[in-house]
Amino acid sequence: MTAARGFRAAAVEAGIKPGRTDLALVVSDRPCVASGVFTTNLAKAAPVLVSAEHLRGGSARAIVVNAGCANASTGPQGMTDARESVQLVAAALGCPVDEVLVCSTGVIGVNLPMDKIRGAIPLAVSGLSGEGGAAAARAIMTTDTKPKESSRRVDLGGVTVTVGGMAKGAGMIAPSLAPLHATMLAFFTTDATIDRATLDRALLDAVGPTFNRITVDSDTSTNDTAIVLANGAAGAALVSGPGPAYNALRDAFREVCRDLALMMIRDGEGVQRIAEVVVKGARTEGDALRIARTIADSPLVKTALHGGDPNWGRIIAAAGRAGVHFDIDKVDIHIGEVFVCEGGAARSYDEAAAHQAMLADPGRLTVDLHAGEAAESMWMCDLTKSYVDINAHYRT
Amino acid sequence: MTAARGFRAAAVEAGIKPGRTDLALVVSDRPCVASGVFTTNLAKAAPVLVSAEHLRGGSARAIVVNAGCANASTGPQGMTDARESVQLVAAALGCPVDEVLVCSTGVIGVNLPMDKIRGAIPLAVSGLSGEGGAAAARAIMTTDTKPKESSRRVDLGGVTVTVGGMAKGAGMIAPSLAPLHATMLAFFTTDATIDRATLDRALLDAVGPTFNRITVDSDTSTNDTAIVLANGAAGAALVSGPGPAYNALRDAFREVCRDLALMMIRDGEGVQRIAEVVVKGARTEGDALRIARTIADSPLVKTALHGGDPNWGRIIAAAGRAGVHFDIDKVDIHIGEVFVCEGGAARSYDEAAAHQAMLADPGRLTVDLHAGEAAESMWMCDLTKSYVDINAHYRT
């Protein structure tokens, strides 16, 4: 988060998750153009509502994030607490309240321990540093086993611009970030100069094919948020509307998103192996995505991936229940390079090779519908006993 | 299956699943009025296609069922094999081919071992017995740990009529039997006298609120089938259209279905605990069912149930992503009798009591939307490490 110029970050131990840092603060040294996308879940957490409201103005300077408590399903008290959190940050930074955004992640239905937040915010402000990005990425973790950071540099008219990002998320991962489909927190900073409408577009263009194409457990969270702050500190020319500069910046942004999205699924709860599900030959991209998502979320495909079992019958069964109409008798399926199903039916193939392809990491499951030209893909992970362990004992 | 008069059954070791019975045959001593519902999955297995075709005539005498091979995704050879199976039975019984129905369950994408089927069918025919129901129920099992049988008797105008049934299914269970929503095989016999249209209605009325309200893993199978044969052997008056006789017969039929559906979810792969998800106060039954199904299929709710963790935040988060519009700030949630969430927010409750309620078996999770008068419910099960074990090593 501090790879781009003009951003500082800090992490402190607020005491919400004892014995580790659990509150992160990211601050730009000047006001930023800001954009955000949020969960499509009806049960939106209080910090989601407050941040969405503050982003309406299109300008922000700071993001405060806590782990350990989602401040979701917390009623009026939750809203009061989220508002107090941003007020405390604004007061300490000397900026307008609506330039501060807030995110929370952790247990649902528990109020924020405001005594701890009140004590932690001044410490975070005083700890802000141009080298604080890595610590911030660690402080926002919940069941993550590793912090997730990435950055890219891109030349815009002779000026080097940086896009940095961090993310967290290991469970409740089936991102559906409005107006697209996400379950996680992701934060981006850039020192590019860009207008709000163009930044909105860039955020969607970067998140859509990356975060919204991963699924750990099909559970879309109450707190999913992706926020980008652009402070113009690199001094490059304004990026406004489509064109080569937009494309270059979007590509860098998308690469950061892809890095983080793959780190997220790789670090999904209990995950041992990941695979890309590619559906091609569909009539529409919507059809292809719906089938890819149904396969990626199928418990039986996920356990087959875990066991290295090239059980393509589960793949075709998942495709067949996806709610998309196509001719099942034209479907071809490859596991890696092994052609296992042709025209919807078994074909002879080398079982040992298919088993090896199913053990590949990352693996690739390709379904060709032979119904059109559209293609889409999803990243999936296996379902393991560790997932059960982690989630059967998460809260109590 | 042999509780109703005039039905005989047999089970033999065809050798598809070595060391156990794996082929069942049920035969009526006279032609029956028959009705069936089948999977909504596009990837319909060959036996599903053949049985649906034969049921168009509305009459049947026999059902042959094999375990160990689903004969699904097997192309033209699969159709040839399914047709040969029914021909063999018809020839041995001396009845028309279209009076024989066929069902298969097991691995997808593998051809039926016809040499074994050809050897087994004559043995099954010669082994038919009025006491063969229990053996048949055992022969159709796959990952089931227990056979599933039930029957009810009902008085129709002074004549006792019997409805009997057997079912199998432990994984790939999210029944969606057209025109409703099932993943399993279920077979029913009755010695009632009933016309085809009324039997069609009775089957839907019995299956809808029972089999189509259970989910083990959200994976709708390629082979789901429910078939009923009514042979009139009791000599009761014809049941035709609505009325008290219909209601009495339907209620008996529905009770048999409920027994079998609950046996099925109780015996779901790796299941240790089951719970009923009740959604009430919805605007429509469709809304209520969609929310109940999303909660019942949520991996995070399923693991919470496994751990006895009264983590209602996962319940409200699942409700919020179900695709139904409602006011999240009006939602009340009870776990058993413990009122844990009021108006969409945490309320104080006895944690130990909630934990005990979450450990209850069967448990009950109640969500009240306060948006209308409609209610629906689903039976769910926990997600355990055994589910992973069973499915990561199913085929190889």
- What is the ipTM score, two decimals? 0.75
The predicted-structure confidence for B265-293, as pLDDT tens digits, reads as follows 888 888 999 999 999 999 999 999 999 99
Computed on alpha carbons and rounded to an integer, the radius of gyration of chain A in Å comes to 22
Q: Which tens digits make up the pLDDT trace of A47-87?
A: 999 999 999 988 999 999 999 999 998 999 999 999 999 99
The whole model's pTM is what? 0.81
Confidence (pLDDT) at A180: 34
Which of A179-193, A248-262, B382-396 shows the lowest mean pLDDT across its residues? A179-193
**pLDDT-derived band of residue B294, with 50, 70 and 90 as boundaries?**
very high
- In percent, how much of chain B has pLDDT > 90? 76
In the predicted model, what is the mean pLDDT of chain A? 91
Task: Tell me what pLDDT residue A178 has.
Answer: 44
Residues from chain A that touch B341, judged by Cβ atoms under 8 A, are 73, 109
By percentage, how much of chain B surpasses pLDDT 70?
A: 95
A220 part of contact set with chain B, CB < 8 Å: yes
CA distance B99 to B57: 9
Q: Would you say B220 and B39 are in contact if contact means Cβ atoms under 8 Å apart?
A: yes
Decide if A317 and B221 are in contact by the 8 Å CB cutoff: yes
Distance from the Cα of B332 to chain A's closest Cα (Å) equals 11
Per-residue confidence (pLDDT) for residue A283, from 0 to 100: 97
What is the model's pLDDT at position B179?
Answer: 37
Q: Nearest to residue B33, comparing CAs of B184, B261, B200?
A: B200
Nearest partner of B226 among B186, B273, B268, judged by Cα:
B186
Q: What pLDDT does B394 receive?
A: 54
Mean pLDDT of B79-87: 97
Are residues A185 and A140 in contact, defined by beta-carbon separation less than 8 angstroms? yes
**Residue A348 near chain B (CB below 8 Å):** no
Q: How many CB pairs under 8 A join A and B?
A: 232
Question: What are the φ and ψ backbone dihedral angles of B266, each rounded to 5 degrees?
Answer: -60, -30
* pLDDT band for position B39 (cuts 50, 70, 90): confident
Q: What is the pLDDT of residue B38?
A: 86
- pLDDT computed for residue B178 by the predictor: 44
Residue A218 pLDDT: 67
Per-residue pLDDT reduced to its tens digit, A31-51: 999 999 888 788 889 999 999
Task: Answer for the pair A271, A303: CB distance below 8 angstroms, yes or no.
Answer: no
Which of the pair, A318 or B394, is modelled with greater confidence? A318
Residue B45: half-sphere exposure toward Cβ, Cα within 13 Å: 35
Predicted confidence band at A182 (pLDDT cuts at 50, 70, 90)?
Answer: very low
Residue A326: per-residue pLDDT = 94
Question: What is d(CA A82, CA A103) in angstroms, rounded to the nearest whole number?
Answer: 9
Residue A361's identity, in one-letter code, is D
Going by pLDDT thresholds of 50, 70 and 90, the confidence category of residue B165 is: very high
pLDDT band at B396 (very low <50, low <70, confident <90, very high): very low
State percent of chain A over pLDDT 70.
95
Q: Considering chain A, what percentage of its residues have pLDDT values greater than 90?
A: 77
pLDDT tens per residue, range A63-74? 999 999 999 989
Outline where A267-350 has alpha helix (H).
285-297, 299-307, 312-320
pLDDT digits (tens, 9 = 90+) for A351-387: 999 999 999 999 999 999 999 999 999 999 999 998 8
First to last CA, chain B: 33
Distance of alpha carbon A348 from alpha carbon A342, whole angstroms: 10
Question: Would you call A109 and B72 a contact, using CB atoms and an 8 Å cutoff?
Answer: no
Domains of chain B, each with CATH number or no CATH: 7-266 (3.60.70.12), 274-392 (3.10.20.340)
A113 touching B (Cβ < 8 Å): no
- The residue among A367, A369, A281 whose CA lies nearest residue A329 is A369
Per-residue pLDDT tens over the stretch B196-234: 999 999 999 998 889 888 887 766 677 788 899 999 999
What is the per-residue pLDDT across A129-148, written as a single tens digit (0 to 9) for each?
999 999 999 999 988 889 99
What is the CA angle A253-A257-A263, rounded to 5? Answer: 150
Q: What is the pLDDT of residues B299-319, one digit of tens each?
A: 889 999 999 999 999 999 899
Q: What per-residue confidence (pLDDT) applies to A247? A: 96
Is residue A227 scored above 50 in pLDDT? yes
Task: Tell me the one-letter amino acid at A132.
Answer: G
Say whether A313 and B388 touch across the interface (CB within 8 A): no
pLDDT at A174 over 80: no
Mean pLDDT of chain B, nearest integer: 91
Contact B75 A345 (CB under 8 A): yes
- pLDDT for the residue numbered A220: 66
- pLDDT at residue A394 above 60? no
What whole-number distance in Å separates Cα of residue B98 and Cα of residue B221? 24
The string of pLDDT tens digits covering residues B91-115 is 999 999 999 999 999 888 899 999 9
Other C-beta atoms lying within 10 Å of the C-beta of residue B368: 18
**Contact list, A369 vs chain B (CB under 8 Å):** none
Give the model confidence (pLDDT) of B115-149 as tens digits.
999 999 999 999 999 999 999 999 999 888 899 99
Contact A300 B107 (CB under 8 A): no
